[in-house]
Amino acid sequence: MHPLLERQLKKIFNNKLQFSPEWQDFFKIVSYTYGNYDEDRKFLERSFDISSKEFLELHDKVLKLLEELKTEKEGVEQKVIERTQELERIAKELNQSNRLLTKREKELTIANEHLLELDKVKTEFISVAAHQIRTPLTGIRWALKEIIDEKYGKITEEQAYLLKQAHQNSARLVKLVGSLLNVAEIEEGKYLYRPAPVQIESVVQSVIDSLQEKIKISKIEFKFIKPEKDLPKVAMDMEKMQIAIQNLLDNSIKYTLPHGKVIVSLKQENEKVVFSIQDTGIGIPKDQQEKIFTKFFREAGAIKMETEGSGLGLVIVKNIIEAHGGKIWFESEGGSGTTFYFQLPVFVASP
């Protein structure tokens, strides 16, 4: 019998627990119920104890997580502060740099305007000086030629030699003055073109004919490869194109050693006429090729081989070709020759 039931019965029946079998069976059932109640109570108590433990553990975890979040939040806030300070510093530096760049830009603009003005004055001076020099030079050349031809009396061989040297030098000076004038007019926008439809073969041939004496003296092998059939005409200022072609031929002849080769050719490619001049001369080193069309530039090997020269010829050539709607380029390896090309659009008559 369950202890609690036994105590209750003793209290009720004054410790007299003599019952009939029917009552005893009844009390057994009640005792069993008391036992089940005890088991349920113990289970509930254990469940409560377990739930309390889990709650405490969860509570501890939550507190720990909150602490970690707080620490992380403080770290993030500190990083944000540091990053903000860094961005403010960078912004300040950028503002200072921007102000400095603006100042430098203004200074450069002023300096550039000053340089442009100086360049304009220089160009005008060169133009005026060249014009002033060309006229007396022409007279000097004419007078020297008259004396060399003995139109004013006999001269000795020594005198003739010196006079011829003077005549040749005056010719070089006239050419230099002409180049200076051409460049000055190009820079001033006064280098005017009067194009007309022309057979370019005849222009090239006329330049070659004018250089026959120089070709002979240079002792080079010269060849002009003409196209098999007539090329279409090209709209050009013939006088200006002769200057361009002569500059290219003159350079190839000048910088090709005796017994070397110079080959000129013409051909048509689509709606373009292509001129080329190939030589076996001194060539142009790779590190100097980008400067070849720069005013007054002369490649070191060219200076060594031919001390005289203005460095203006190719500048003039490039301007002439491009003014005709063409394009000029070259291929070269230092020490193994150069090939210059230019192409011009075919003339198309207006409908």
Same domain, 6 and 107: yes
Q: What is the pLDDT of residues 221-272, one digit of tens each?
A: 999 998 888 899 999 999 899 999 999 999 999 889 999 999 999 999 999 9
Same domain, 156 and 205: no
Asked if residues 342 and 350 have their Cβ atoms less than 8 Å apart, the reply is: no
Q: Is residue 245 one of the residues assigned to a domain?
A: yes
Q: Does this model's pTM top 0.75?
A: no
CA dihedral of 100, 106, 108, 113, whole degrees rounded to 10: 180
On the CB side of 154, CA atoms within 13 Å amount to 2
Same domain, 68 and 158: yes
Strand pairing category for 234-236 and 221-225: unpaired
pLDDT of residue 343: 96
**Per this entry, what is the length of the chain?**
351
Check residues 263 and 173 and name the one with the higher pLDDT. 263
Sheet with 272-279, side-by-side order of all strands: 221-225, 261-269, 272-279, 338-345, 327-332
Q: Is residue 332 one of the residues assigned to a domain?
A: yes
Same domain, 178 and 224: no
Same domain, 33 and 85: yes
What is the C-alpha separation between 185 and 349, in angstroms, rounded? 29
Confidence class for position 205, pLDDT limits 50, 70, 90:
very high
pLDDT of residue 24: 72
Confidence class for position 44, pLDDT limits 50, 70, 90:
low
Asked if residues 131 and 188 have their Cβ atoms less than 8 Å apart, the reply is: no
pLDDT of residue 305: 64
Q: What is the pLDDT of residues 14-31, one digit of tens each?
A: 666 666 777 777 767 777
Residue 172 in tokens: 């070089």
Percentage above 70 pLDDT, the chain: 84
Same domain, 107 and 226: no
Q: Is residue 5 one of the residues assigned to a domain?
A: yes
What is the C-alpha separation between 190 and 183, in angstroms, rounded? 10
pLDDT of residue 301: 67
Strand pairing category for 221-225 and 261-269: parallel
SS (H, E, C) the chain: CCHHHHHHHHHHCCCCCCCCHHHHHHHHHHHHHHHHHHHHHHHHHHHHHHHHHHHHHHHHHHHHHHHHHHHHHHHHHHHHHHHHHHHHHHHHHHHHHHHHHHHHHHHHHHHHHHHHHHHHHHHHHHHHHHHHHHHHHHHHHHHHHHHHCCCCCCCCHHHHHHHHHHHHHHHHHHHHHHHHHHHHHHHHCCCCCCCEEECHHHHHHHHHHHCHHHHHHHCCEEEEECCCCCCCCEEECHHHHHHHHHHHHHHHHHCCCCCCEEEEEEEEECCEEEEEEEECCCCCCHHHHHHCCCCCCCCHHHHHHCCCCCCCHHHHHHHHHHHCCCEEEEEECCCCCEEEEEEEECCCCCC
Picking from 191, 212, 239, the residue at the C-terminal end of a domain is 191
Across residues 190-206, what is the average pLDDT?
A: 89
118 to each of 106, 115, 125, how far by Cα in Å?
18, 5, 10
Same domain, 128 and 46: yes
Q: Is residue 250 one of the residues assigned to a domain?
A: yes
Residue 149 in tokens: 């031809």
Q: Is residue 350 one of the residues assigned to a domain?
A: no
Same domain, 201 and 186: no
Same domain, 14 and 143: yes
- Domain with 52 in it: 1-191
φ, ψ of residue 274 in degrees (nearest 5) = -110, 125
Same domain, 290 and 332: yes
How many structural domains compose the chain? 2
Picking from 167, 191, 215, the residue at the C-terminal end of a domain is 191
Q: Is residue 209 one of the residues assigned to a domain?
A: yes
Same domain, 16 and 137: yes
Residue 182 in tokens: 């051409």
Q: Is residue 119 one of the residues assigned to a domain?
A: yes
- Rg, the chain, Cα only: 53
Q: Is residue 135 one of the residues assigned to a domain?
A: yes
* Lowest mean pLDDT segment, chosen from 32-41, 242-251, 290-299: 32-41
CA dihedral of 24, 25, 29, 34, whole degrees rounded to 10: 10
Same domain, 136 and 241: no
CATH assignment at residue 204 = 3.30.565.10
Percentage above 90 pLDDT, the chain: 29
Residue 66 in tokens: 């909150």
Picking from 133, 157, 191, the residue at the C-terminal end of a domain is 191
